[in-house]
C-alpha cells in the first residue's frame, strides 16, 4: 500500500520511516513524502492512481491541508485515495470542515502511532 505523507516538517520522514520500519521492510507499506501541499499535488500528478492513502497535516505554509483535500477531491474523482487529516488543533471547526470536504479520518497531534498503525492495517 502506497502512502503519501504531507507535512512541512522534514523530520516527519525519518520518524515515519523508523516507526514503520518493520512494515516497510516487509513491504506492507510504501511511504512517499511531500513537504508542502503543492509538492503533494505534483507528486499525485506524476504518479496517478498509485497512492492509496494520504496523510496530511492541516497547518502548513502555502497551501493548507484543507485546500489540498479540496483539490484532491475535485481533481481525482475517478480513483479516490483515502485521506486522513492530522492537526495540532483539535478544534471542531477544523474537524467539521475536513469531514465536509470528504476526509476519511481525522487525527490530532501528537499522533498515536499504535492507533495509526492499526487503522492503516485495517484499511489494508
From the CB of residue 26, how many other CB atoms can be counted at a distance below 10 Å?
Answer: 9
Kindly state the smallest distance separating residue 113's Cβ from another protein, in Å. 7
C-alpha–C-alpha distance, residues 15 and 17, integer Å: 5
SS3 6: strand
For residue 88, state whether it binds another protein (rule: CB under 8 A). Answer: yes
Does 110 participate in binding another protein (rule CB under 8 A)? yes
Cβ neighbourhood burial of 82 (10 Å; 0-12, 13-18, 19+): middle
Contact between 77 and another protein by CB under 8 A: the answer reads: no
- Computed over its alpha carbons, how large is the radius of gyration of the chain? 13
Q: Does residue 8 contact residue 37 with C-beta atoms inside 8 Å? A: no
Residues 2-21 that bind another protein (CB under 8 A): 9, 11, 15, 18-19, 21
Residue 123 in the binding site for another protein (CB under 8 A): no
Looking at the Cβ atoms of 26 and 46, the one nearer to another protein is 26
User: Could you say whether residue 96 binds another protein (CB under 8 A)?
Assistant: no
Residue reference for cell 495540532: 88
Residue from 73, 76, 109, 119 touching another protein (CB under 8 A): that is 109
- Footprint of another protein on this chain (CB under 8 A)? 9, 11, 15, 18-19, 21, 88, 109-111, 113
Amino acid at each position: 500500500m502506497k502512502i503519501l505523507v504531507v507535512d512541512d516538517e522534514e523530520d516527519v520522514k525519518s520518524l515515519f520511516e523508523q516507526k514503520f520500519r518493520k512494515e516497510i521492510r516487509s513491504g506492507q507499506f510504501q511511504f512517499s513524502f511531500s513537504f508542502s501541499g503543492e509538492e503533494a499535488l505534483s507528486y499525485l500528478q506524476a504518479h496517478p492512481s498509485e497512492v492509496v492513502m494520504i496523510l496530511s497535516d492541516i497547518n502548513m505554509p502555502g497551501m493548507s491541508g484543507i485546500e489540498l483535500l479540496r483539490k484532491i477531491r475535485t481533481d481525482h474523482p475517478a480513483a479516490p485515495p483515502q485521506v486522513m487529516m492530522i492537526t495540532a488543533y483539535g478544534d471542531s471547526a477544523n474537524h467539521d470542515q475536513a469531514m465536509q470536504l470528504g476526509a476519511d479520518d481525522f487525527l490530532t497531534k501528537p499522533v498515536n502511532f499504535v492507533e495509526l498503525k492499526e487503522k492503516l492495517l485495517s484499511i489494508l
